[in-house]
Structure 1
Amino acid sequence: MTQSDHSQLERVNNQIVSEFSKTLEMFSLNKTEAQLFVTLYLNEAPMTLDEMKESLGKSKTAMSYAIRRLLEFNLVERVWQKGVRKDLYEAREDLYKKFMKTYVNRWLASLNIQINNLAEIQEDLTHYSDSHKELFERKIQDAIFFHRSLEEVFSSIKKNDFL
């Protein structure tokens, strides 16, 4: 392979990492996490933290933090290779299911917290007799209805084997 071909392939690889990672950022991954996932996904072999650092030009600390977050989301896995003493990581396959499962579960957890917080605010309103109380109660009811509607949609996605 000529130097020109290698440079061209490197440029294409960088474009793929850049564009694909933009999509992954919509799933609440930060830029480094998204770029690391795409790098692992495109790499044919598992990578060490040092290789990730070299590939992305980031610090080993940044790679360590990003890989821990990707492990938490179940998007990468630690793998073992005979004779290799350092930890190796690779991207999990079946991207759609992994990202959707992570995304839906995060939405459901967040919606549950928000519904509980709104209910607490609503409960606190019972102690007041202000002229705005009815307006606030109605707005909170609307917000709770909105959150419960979203909860139904995400629960339906989770139940209907989309994941």
Structure 2
Amino acid sequence: MDKPTSEQFEHINNQLISEFSKTLEMFSLNQTEAQLFVTLFFNDEPMTLDDMKDALGRSKTAMSNATRTLLDFNLIERVFIKGARKDLYQAKKDLYDKFMKTYVSRWLSAIDQQLSSLDSIQSQVQESNINSDSLDNKLTEAIKFHRSLEEVFKQISQYDQ
């Protein structure tokens, strides 16, 4: 069997990063954030912003923004290495747990915001004395839908504890 060339290795590595990142994009990460996380996840050593920029062929600003988002979602961490002059980052390895907690939390937050907005709309309808069975039914269904989602994601969050 022939030894793979560096071009073949690079091509397969890029395919792996691309396919893995597609899954992570379903967790509301953009393409750059997902690809950066995968790169950090598979890298054995912490990386600087310059390392990330070189690995993904993106700007340092794009890497900085993606890093900030991943830090906010608690998916990566800043690490200290004595003598290093630049910030270093690495992926947190408990991947499933981190993504599920982040995903469920974001859904619950979004649902809460939507329910608040729907309650506000319902109050406006009541205050304006609009008598519309159609509008009342639509509001009731929208609230019911969001309450059902809320219940499902609360159940999921109980399993993550």
2: distance between equivalents of 1:130 and 1:156?
37
2: distance between equivalents of 1:124 and 1:130?
9
For structure 2, which runs of at least 5 residues remain unmatched after alignment? Answer: none
The whole-number CA distance in structure 1 between the counterparts of 2:27 and 2:129 is 42
* Whole-Å separation in 2 of the counterparts to 1:5 and 1:44: 21
Q: Which amino acid aligns with 1:100?
A: M
Q: Which residue of 2 aligns with 1:57?
A: 57
Please tell me the root mean square deviation across aligned C-alpha atoms, in Å: 1.6
| Structure 2 residue aligned with 1:115 | 115
Q: Distance in 2 between matches of 1:12 and 1:61?
A: 27
Compute the displacement of 1:9 (Å): 1.4
Q: Distance in 2 between matches of 1:96 and 1:50?
A: 28
Look up the match of 1:37: 37
Q: Distance in 1 between matches of 2:9 and 2:43?
A: 13
Q: What letter is aligned with 2:92? A: R
SS in 1 for 2:77: strand
Residue 130 of structure 1 deviates from its aligned partner by 4.3
TM score, norm. by length of structure 1: 0.93
Verify: 1:127 aligned to 2:130, yes or no: no
| Equivalent-residue separation in structure 1 for 2:35 and 2:3 (angstroms) | 25
2:150 equivalent in structure 1: 151
* Whole-angstrom CA distance in 2 between matches of 1:109 and 1:146: 15
List per-residue Cα deviations over 1:6-26 (Å, max 9, x = no partner): 222111110011101111111
Q: Does 1:71 align with 2:37?
A: no
Any idea what the Cα deviations from partners look like across 1:45-76, whole Å, max 9, x if unmatched? 00000000011111100000000000000000
4+ aligned runs moved over 3 Å, structure 1: 128-131
Partner of 2:9: 9
Q: Which runs of 5+ in 1 are unaligned?
A: none
Q: CA deviation at 1:29?
A: 0.4
TM-score between both structures, scaled by the size of structure 2: 0.94
CA distance in 1, matches of 2:113, 2:154: 15
Percentage of identical aligned residues: 57
Paired with 1:36 and 1:19, the residues of 2 have a C-alpha distance of: 13
Distance 2:4 2:156 in 1: 47
Query: What CA distance in whole angstroms lies between the structure 2 residues aligned with 1:65 and 1:71?
Result: 10
The one-letter amino acid of 1:39's match is T
